[in-house]
Structures are given as C-alpha cells and as structure tokens.
Structure 1
C-alpha cells in the first residue's frame, strides 16, 4: 500500500514538469539587467557631454592664437605724375580661440629701380653659405631700403594706458580697413606695403606696446617697459608681418 502511494506521488511530480525558478531569483536578474542598461545610457550621455564641452570649450582654449593678414592693392586714380593707390588690409582670425588685437602698423615704402646700360652678371659668392638673406637682379638694382612715403600706427585697448577702442576677433571673424596712398611715379618705380600686427589670446592678459621709428622713417611695434622688465609677460605676445608690392608703371 505504501509503494503504490509513492508511485502516485512520483507520477504527479512528473506530470507537473520541472521545478520553476524562484520568483526572487528571476526578479534579481531582471533588475540587474535593467540597472546595467541604465548605467550604460548614463555613461554614454556623460561621455557625450564631456566630448561636446571638450571640443567646444577646452580644446579651443588650448590652441594658440592665429591671425592672417592680406592686402589688396588697386589704382584708385591719378593726377599728373601722382598715382592714388587703395590698399585694403584684412586681418582674420584663422585659429580656434578668440584673439585680442593690440597694435597695428602700416609702412608704405617707395623704391626706385636703377637700370644699367650694360648687363650686370650675377656672380657667385663664397659667403652664400653663411648668409641669411640673398637677393640679386640682372640689368638693374633697387634703391633699398627705399623711402618711407607713409607710416601709420594704432594701439588698441589693452596695449596703452590711454582709452582706446577694443579690437577683438572671434574664430573665423575678419575686419578690413581701406587706406589711400599717393605716390610720385617720377621718383619711384613701385611701392611696398608692409603691415605688422601684434596680438594675444583673448583670455591672456594684454601686453603694453610702444612705437619705435627707425632711421629711414619706418614704424615698428615694440613691447612696453613693463613687458621688458618681466620677460614672462611677453611670451603670449604674437606678431604677424606681411608685405606686398605695387608697380607704378
């Protein structure tokens, strides 16, 4: 009688199928899976925000300032032997960080070409290996360094103790300025336009500047006395020089 009862119990257990997992174990696995997915989504969002901030804020602030200068020259008119030349100087922030323009200098130099009656051979020189600049022309010579026709200089806010207009450039921003120059074609064969620009990063402390004039009358930008006394303050100062020429023929 006992054996029959055991067989009935075993048969009922077989008909019931395998034992079902504990509800608590299934709930824990599902909960862990959800938590892992949530953490992954949060991590991806945090990484995205960091990447955006790095690309938009951190990385540009680490880049050095970069400014390009271009000059477009064209004849604006003429009267007798004088030629009017319009110079359009464009300064552009080609970097990824804001730039503070501190100073700007123009020098316009008239140069005379002297032509010889006989061709002048270009001879070899033993000193070329030690020279840092070489220039030679056949049949003519230039009256270098030339004669300064005009010079202009401007110090912007931050470069002078006096009140001055600010001149800041955001990345990709450009500013142009026109200048009319008059040159005597009986005295010069061409004119040379030289532009010097001093600037720093927008977030860096400004550097005081001063003008200095050379013997030939050209104007240059130099760091102020404070910058010379504290050499560390001059490190962030950047200079860009550009020159182009225009024939009067």
Structure 2
C-alpha cells in the first residue's frame, strides 16, 4: 500500500476532529454572546420598554376624639411595582363625608326578582345608597417636574415604596362614614416630565391634570399615567 493511501484515513480523522472542535468552540462563543445579550436585555433594554406601574395602599385609623370631632390618621403608601424608574408628578387626596338614610326609604322591601341589564347591581333593603356626599378635605401636591414652582422630587426605583401620613378630622354626628380617595399621576423617569395643574371637578373634588399648554400638544401628555385608589371608613364606634 502506498503512503498516499495510508495517509487518507488519518487526514480524514484529523479533519473530523478539527471540525468537531470548531463546532464546540463556536457553540461556547454563541452561548457566551447569548448570556451577555440576555443580561443586557434584562438589565437595560427590558426595563426601558416596560410601562410604568405604581400601586397605592391606604391605612386609616382613629387616633383621638375631642369636642365631638374624630381624628383619623391616613397612611398612604405608593410602591413602584414595575420594572422601570418612575417620576411621581402629582398626588391628591379627597375625603368625602357620607350620610346614610335608614328606615322607610323607597328601596325598602323585598329584593327585585329580576336584575337590571347593567354593569353594576346595587340593591339595599333597609337603607338608601348615599348619593354624592360632602367633600370635607382636599389635599394636593405637585412634585418636581410637574410645576415651575419650588417643589420636592419624587422618584421611585423598581420595588421602592414611600409612605405619607396625614391627620384629618370628621364629625361622627354628621356623617356615618368617610370615603378616602387617592389619585396618583406619574410617568417614566426616562420621559420628559408632564406639567400639571389642579382642577376642581363638578362634584367638588380636586384632581391633578395636565395643564392647558400640555393638552394642546397631546404627544407630550401621552407619557402621563394615573392610579386611583379609594377606601371607605366607618365613623361608628367599634
């Protein structure tokens, strides 16, 4: 057998081993590139694409009573539950006193056998659902970026929470309960801040809304997001 014939299988084996080694090396390199890309995507790209998301919780508790007035402490906590840093721009509280009418009311009696075609059903046998109510507290704050006036910054990193306490007073002889309503306006920190202004709604409550110059340019106001939260608190003695 000639030398040329003897070298054939060896060369073929060498080529297969080199190809296999090259494939393994390429796989390792691609795996490393993918790991780096995944890290960058999860750490930088994904948070930038995610929408802002802030949750609001409220805790109300009695803290005293004097001259027939009840003192109530509210603790409002805002938490960034999203993946991107947010800029809180406006915060409003509205406290509404509610009086319930008991006894002989139009709704007293048997419950209706058929339900109305509606997205909400409320049936009360011995009292009437209060309508409206009286606003007894309006409180609002515009943070840095929402106003040209001196104001404090209010940014939230993902997972960060901030609480704010406020004591207010209600007359239990006049109201049966209070509705504590919170509205939060915010945007991504990476977006330009949206200027806000306070407005009084027809029901007497206040809100922080985009100001008229911003409303004239809808694209600038598009970054604004709002979160509403409401809870009701009885003024009756436990």
What TM-score, normalized to structure 2? 0.86
Output the CA distance in 1 between the equivalents of 2:133 and 2:9: 98
- Which residue of structure 2 lines up, in the alignment, with residue 34 of structure 1? 21
Output the CA distance in 2 between the equivalents of 1:63 and 1:55: 11
Output the CA distance in 2 between the equivalents of 1:53 and 1:148: 50
- Which residue of structure 2 lines up, in the alignment, with residue 87 of structure 1? 74
Checking the alignment, whether the CA contact within 8 Å between 1:196 and 1:242 is kept in structure 2 is yes
Q: Which shifted more, 51-60 or 193-202?
A: 51-60
Q: Any gaps of 5 or more consecutive residues in structure 2?
A: none
Q: Which shifted more, 182-191 or 77-86?
A: 77-86
Checking the alignment, whether the CA contact within 8 Å between 1:111 and 1:142 is kept in structure 2 is no
Paired residue secondary structure (2:128): strand
Q: Any gaps of 5 or more consecutive residues in structure 1?
A: 1-12
- Which residue of structure 1 lines up, in the alignment, with residue 52 of structure 2? 65
| Structure 2 CA distance for partners of 1:128 and 1:161, relative to 1, 3 Å | farther
| Structure 2 CA distance for partners of 1:164 and 1:30, relative to 1, 3 Å | same
Output the CA distance in 2 between the equivalents of 1:112 and 1:102: 33
Output the CA distance in 1 between the equivalents of 2:203 and 2:25: 74
Equivalent pairs, count: 234
What TM-score, normalized to structure 1? 0.83
- Which residue of structure 1 lines up, in the alignment, with residue 91 of structure 2? 104
Larger Rg: 1
Correspondence 1:76 to 2:63: yes
Q: Offset of 1:60 from its aligned partner?
A: 2.1
Which string of whole-angstrom CA distances, capped at 9 and with x for unpartnered residues, describes residues 141-180 of structure 1? 2542111111110111111122321111111111111111
